Amino acid sequence: MWMIDLPPFVPFFIAALLALITRGRVRNLIVLATPVLGGLYLWLDVTPGIVTTIPVLEYELILMRADRLSLLFGYLFHIAAFIIAIFALHVRDTTQSVSSLLYAGSALGAVFAGDLITLFIFWELLAISSVFLIWARRTERAIRSGMRYLIIQVSSGMLLLAGAMVQYYQTGSLEFDFIGLEGISGWLIFLAFGIKCAFPLLHNWLTDAYPEATPTGAVFLSAFTTKVAVYALARGFPGTELLIYIGAVMTCFPIFYAVIENDLRRVLAYSLINQLGFMVCGIGIGTALALNGTVAHAFSHVLYKALLFMSMGAVLYRAGTIKSSDLGGLYKSMPKTALLCIIGACSISAFPLFSGFVSKSMILAAMIQEGYDYLWLVLLFASAGVFHHAGIKIPYFAFFANDSGIRTREAPVNMLIAMSIAAILCVFIGTQPQYLYALLPWEVEYWPYETTHVLSQFQLLFFAALAFVWLNKLGIYPREMPAVNLDADWLYRKLLPDTTRSVYGFLKQTGHRIEDTFDSTLKDAAKSMISTRLGRFNLAASWPTGSMAFWLAVILGLFLLADAMN
Amino acid sequence: MIEQNLSLLLVVIPLLAAPVTAMLPAGRLPWLLTLIVSWTCLVIAGWQLSVVIDGSVISYELGGWAPPWGIEYRIDAMNAFVALILSGIAAITLPYALRTVEKDIPRHQTSLFYAVFLLCLVGLLGIAQTGDVFNLFVFLEISSLSSYVLIAMGEQRRALTSAFQYLIMGTIGATFLLIGIGLVYAETGTLNMVDLNLRLQPILDHRTVHTGFAFIVVGIALKLALFPLHLWLPNAYKYAPSVVSVFLAATATKVAVYIMLRMVFGVFSNDFVRITPTDQMFLLLGIFGVILASVTAIYQTDVKRLLAYSSVAQVSYMVLGMGLASVLGITATLVHVFNHALIKGALFMACGALVYRVGSSQFENLNGLGRQMPWTFSAIFIAGLSLIGIPGTAGFISKWYFMLAALEQQSWLIALVILLGSLLAVVYMWKIVEVMFLRPASDNVASVKEAPVSLLIPMWVLVIANIYFGFYTELTVNVADSAARLLGVAAYHE
């Protein structure tokens, strides 16, 4: 169709360039056509086994390595980019249009990257392009939060680069295939992936930054960054047992924070981590069924999570707030959005006939097969928890609950179309899973709709719903309060600045004290030297000429001394 | 035959043009002559590099006196590479100079300004060309004296103090160099670099040689702005006229790096480095330089000073490369000499464009200026990415080689410092982006227009070069590699 073996990120980057110079309808056309054409090209022309390389320095960078795993993620990202592009069609902001195209392109570049350097390049591009979706909100909070996000993401890239270089030195290869946790390079890369995959304690950038993004930006963010990380983990660390435990923790701990959180988009961010936990577990198990489950879950997850973020984006866009304490009763003015949101909620809660059910159950089945019974129970608890915070809490507090009196209009048409497409896909995958299963990278016989399985899932959901109703009636369920909850980011948002401040204050005081001591005791020539050169040691000041000459003499003297002692 | 003379022409043409320029009537004529001369130099330098790139050497005997008695111009890949950088930067700076000089320099001084500019170029090119240590000292003084004058021509009165400080420090440094050369001359009786290298090998353990070496290294270290001898640099760069900041930032410290490499590895030899604490000193000061200068840059509230401290940090990278004392380390240093000239050239040009429009480089006067001057801002952004070392830019190639050189010797600490320096660079470049793009525009900016095209074109040529050399590394890496090998540095062995 087009040039043979064009890496899939190229159309997106070209489109980003075009979006920079066009406006209005032309730009909308470009934004919509790119994922469609790119997706068609990927679907029709690219078959597993195609490899495109370019030589840089003495290395061959593998820009495109197509196999079933990377292709599935490629399709997914094209679909997501298309749906979200429709959702964002009303936005007249060059920054957002350009950066979202760059962002989607970088995600594609990363999943098709065949070597660690190419991966690193797109890894960093993901960070740089996505941060503008947060800054585009142009509030002080968003700028600060975006900065924290950028620093953490760039550090992740640095770890990846360091790991890649160590690996290059140890094995002479930069190829991105199974890495494993052997040696320092494996751990560095693991940590880099872990940051992007929001491992516990490394997850704060996600819950911090996503809710601060623009209504449309958050949808983009939810679709790409973490899924690239899941892909990278599935490629580099399948069957690493540690991941099962990490995943289990990831499924559980966000539930508690999600329940007490007031900002509904932050609730979604926590539930995103929870869902990632299932995928990480699947990668950790590492059997064909588990990996298939992971990939399938990533696929359906992107769609229903985007659907939920879109519905919350629509609420934010229309109602102007996303605090559950201020919302409620919106179903009267936004009935369609409410219905679509409920479909998303059903999918994330894994109701039979919705997409979450057919993918999550693969991971759970694989877990039982491999004999992790207790962890299976943990994941079951987490599934109930998902239903609580994402399945019920989100639609309930936004659209029902106590009527807040907010009267507004239904979401714009483009948003409704985008949400409908996502909702249709959720139901389609849920009812016709064989099409998704056929695309999965490994050959596995699996069918989710067995009587016992469906029944047990309904029981689980029913009792979870009962618990919510009961707790809510008794008033035990945490009330929605307008507050900012910090979890582990307390470490660097509170502890670190406070400690720095107190340490700095302490140093300053001691510094003054030392200076005072010097002043009072050394009243001879030594004093004048110390007060000009060392006592007021300030790097940024303009220094007197004498001080410069002084350092010159010091260096010369020290060098000669060291030389003589050699 | 003409190829033999190339090496001399590169110095003689600007040298003869300088007094002519001084006598021309003020206005655009001196600029035009300087422009022609610098472009001629660029062509000759390119030619010269194409002759020696295969590893051959051009030797020219000045006045027909055979070396080692006479002065020899000895061009190998490294000299030609440095000469190309110098003349290239001069050639690209001059189109930029036209408008900024008209604004910064009183009209009646323009012919003198360009004459001094040419003298500075003569000095720098001479350093790159000569194969004689005393001749090198002479050229160093020519370039230094003329750069004192250039800095003192800055608009503000503090330019005078800054130039004076630089003069004192520069003179002390040059004197140290001269003392060192004198001591070594006393030991060997020769000034020719190749000859010196031969004669020094048997007497490497002599005390006098060591002392001379110490004086030479410390003297050059000052010119190179090696931490903590960098204190003259921020003010000198800040108060100089914009075009002088651009030219000096992109060339002066780089030439000092060249002298250091040539003297330490070319004249004294790698063995000598191993028996003295030179490499440890380079590594130690390099580590401190990268971190402390970067941290200091973060606390600046003036773009020019911020960039100046960043230059100190970047030069510290080059010192780290020298401290690693391996082929890869020296290659990384030379690659970074080239790439950093591109990066800092572009950044100081953008900064000059801001000063041209707003009249100040203080942060408080630049709020929200990114929207008024999108091209200048984008140039800062891209050159900033290159400075940080984002892949796809020239800066990445340098950082990559520094990392390879560090990892080759399992120096995890150095590798960490290189990464940390990049992170700190993110922070300080971010400060500029934040001021220019994220802060609301203050009143004084509302009517500011984009910089004139004559400023934007040279700036963007350098910006595009930053991207070009991020992908096509044959010129930089190959030349640097062969230069490092010619210098007699051995590859690293366990």
Q: What is the ipTM of this complex?
A: 0.79
> What is the enclosing helix (H) or strand (E) of A92?
none
Gyration radius from chain A CA atoms: 27
Nearest to B277 among A151, A556, A562 (CB): A562
Instruction: Give CA–CA dist A95/B438, Å, rounded.
Output: 13
The 3-state DSSP class for residue A59 equals: strand
> What is the enclosing helix (H) or strand (E) of B177?
helix B158-188
Burial level of B106, CB count in 10 A (0-12/13-18/19+)? exposed
Q: Do A279 and A212 belong to one domain?
A: no
CB contacts of B234 in chain A (<8 Å) are 542
Report the pLDDT value the prediction gives residue A530, as an integer from 0 to 100. 45
Gyration radius from chain B CA atoms: 21
Query: Which residues, in sequence order, are CB contacts of B36 under 8 Å at separation 6+?
Result: none
B194 contacts B74 by C-beta, under 8 angstroms = yes
- Tell me which residue has tokens 């985008």: A418
Taking residue A44's Cβ as centre, other Cβ atoms within 10 Å add up to 9
Nearest to B214 among A165, A545, A556 (CB): A556
Q: Do A200 and A260 belong to one domain?
A: no
Amino acid present at B410? Q
Report the pLDDT value the prediction gives residue A533, as an integer from 0 to 100. 46
User: Would you give per-residue pLDDT tens digits along chain B (494 residues)?
Assistant: 567 777 888 899 999 999 999 998 888 899 999 999 999 999 999 999 888 888 788 888 887 788 778 888 888 888 899 999 999 999 999 999 988 888 888 888 899 999 999 999 999 999 999 989 999 999 999 999 999 999 999 888 888 888 998 999 899 999 999 999 999 999 998 999 988 988 988 888 888 999 999 999 999 999 998 888 888 888 888 899 999 999 999 999 899 999 999 999 989 888 888 888 888 889 999 999 999 999 889 888 899 999 999 999 999 999 999 998 888 899 999 999 999 999 999 999 999 999 998 888 888 888 888 878 888 988 999 999 999 988 888 999 999 899 889 888 888 889 889 988 988 898 899 888 888 877 777 777 778 888 888 899 999 999 999 999 988 888 888 888 888 888 876 666 54
Nearest to A545 among B165, B214, B430 (CB): B165
Q: How large is the average pLDDT for residues A107-111?
A: 93
Query: Which residues, in sequence order, are CB contacts of B140 under 8 Å at separation 6+?
Result: B123, B127, B174, B177, B223, B259
Report the pLDDT value the prediction gives residue A519, as an integer from 0 to 100. 56
Residue A2 region, left (φ>0) first, then alpha (ψ -120 to 50), else beta?
beta
Q: Do A315 and A395 belong to one domain?
A: yes
3-state helix, strand, coil split of chain A in percent (to 5) is 75, 5, 25
Whether this model's pTM surpasses 0.80:
no
Instruction: Give CA–CA dist B442/B433, Å, rounded.
Output: 15
Lowest mean pLDDT among A119-123, A310-314, A400-404: A400-404
Q: Do A469 and A539 belong to one domain?
A: no
Residues of chain A in Cβ contact (below 8 Å) with chain B:
56-57, 117, 120-121, 124, 128, 135, 143, 147, 151, 154-155, 158, 161-162, 165-166, 169, 539-540, 542-543, 545, 547-549, 551-552, 555-556, 559-560, 562-563, 566
B245 contacts B349 by C-beta, under 8 angstroms = no
Cα separation values, B443 from A140, B147, B359, B364, B369, Å: 20, 36, 14, 11, 11
B403 contacts B340 by C-beta, under 8 angstroms = no
Question: Choosing among B231, B319, B416, which should be mutated to test the A contact, i.e. which has the most A CBs within 10 A?
Answer: B231
Average pLDDT, chain A: 84
Q: Do A111 and A5 belong to one domain?
A: yes
In DSSP terms, which residues pair with A119 in a beta bridge? none
A440 domain residue, yes or no: no
Q: How large is the average pLDDT for residues A14-26?
A: 86
Q: Do A79 and A206 belong to one domain?
A: yes
| Positive or negative torsion for Cα A354, A359, A364, A366 | positive
Q: Answer yes or no: do B423 and A120 touch at CB < 8 A.
A: no
Of the pLDDT bands very low, low, confident and very high (cuts 50, 70, 90), residue A3 is very low
Q: Answer yes or no: do A540 and B300 touch at CB < 8 A.
A: yes
Q: Do A179 and A261 belong to one domain?
A: no
Give the nearest chain B residue to A139 (CA atoms).
B438
Alpha helices in B132-157 (DSSP H): 133-152
The C-alpha of A126 sits at a distance from chain B's nearest C-alpha, in angstroms, of 12
Q: Answer yes or no: do B299 and A560 touch at CB < 8 A.
A: no
CB contacts of B438 in chain A (<8 Å) are 135, 143
* Each residue's pLDDT tens digit, A451-499: 878 888 888 888 888 887 887 777 666 666 666 666 666 666 777 777 7
Q: Do A244 and A114 belong to one domain?
A: no
Report the pLDDT value the prediction gives residue B463, as an integer from 0 to 100. 94
Q: Do A283 and A248 belong to one domain?
A: yes
Q: Do A365 and A340 belong to one domain?
A: yes
The C-alpha of B391 sits at a distance from chain A's nearest C-alpha, in angstroms, of 6
Lowest mean pLDDT among A115-119, A321-325, B16-20, B246-250: A321-325
Q: Give me the number of domains chain A comprises.
A: 3
Give the nearest chain A residue to B275 (CA atoms).
A566
A448 domain residue, yes or no: no
| Positive or negative torsion for Cα B415, B417, B420, B426 | negative
Amino acid present at A59? Y
Nearest to A162 among B231, B299, B419 (CB): B419
A458 domain residue, yes or no: no
Q: Given A213, A236, A259, which residue is the final one in a domain?
A: A236
Give the nearest chain B residue to A148 (CA atoms).
B427
Domain regions of chain B by residue span? 278-494
The C-alpha of A53 sits at a distance from chain B's nearest C-alpha, in angstroms, of 14
In which domain, by residue range, is A216 found? Answer: 1-236
CB contacts of B397 in chain A (<8 Å) are 57
Report the pLDDT value the prediction gives residue B494, as an integer from 0 to 100. 45
The C-alpha of A278 sits at a distance from chain B's nearest C-alpha, in angstroms, of 33
Report the pLDDT value the prediction gives residue A44, as an integer from 0 to 100. 84
Report the pLDDT value the prediction gives residue A534, as an integer from 0 to 100. 44
Cα separation values, B312 from B214, B254, B347, B390, Å: 21, 11, 14, 20
B401 contacts B307 by C-beta, under 8 angstroms = no
Q: Do A513 and A402 belong to one domain?
A: no
DSSP state of B191: -
| Positive or negative torsion for Cα B150, B151, B155, B159 | negative
Q: How large is the average pLDDT for residues A302-317?
A: 91
Give the nearest chain B residue to A117 (CA atoms).
B391
Helix/strand number for chain B, H first, E second: 20, 2
Report the pLDDT value the prediction gives residue B363, as an integer from 0 to 100. 86
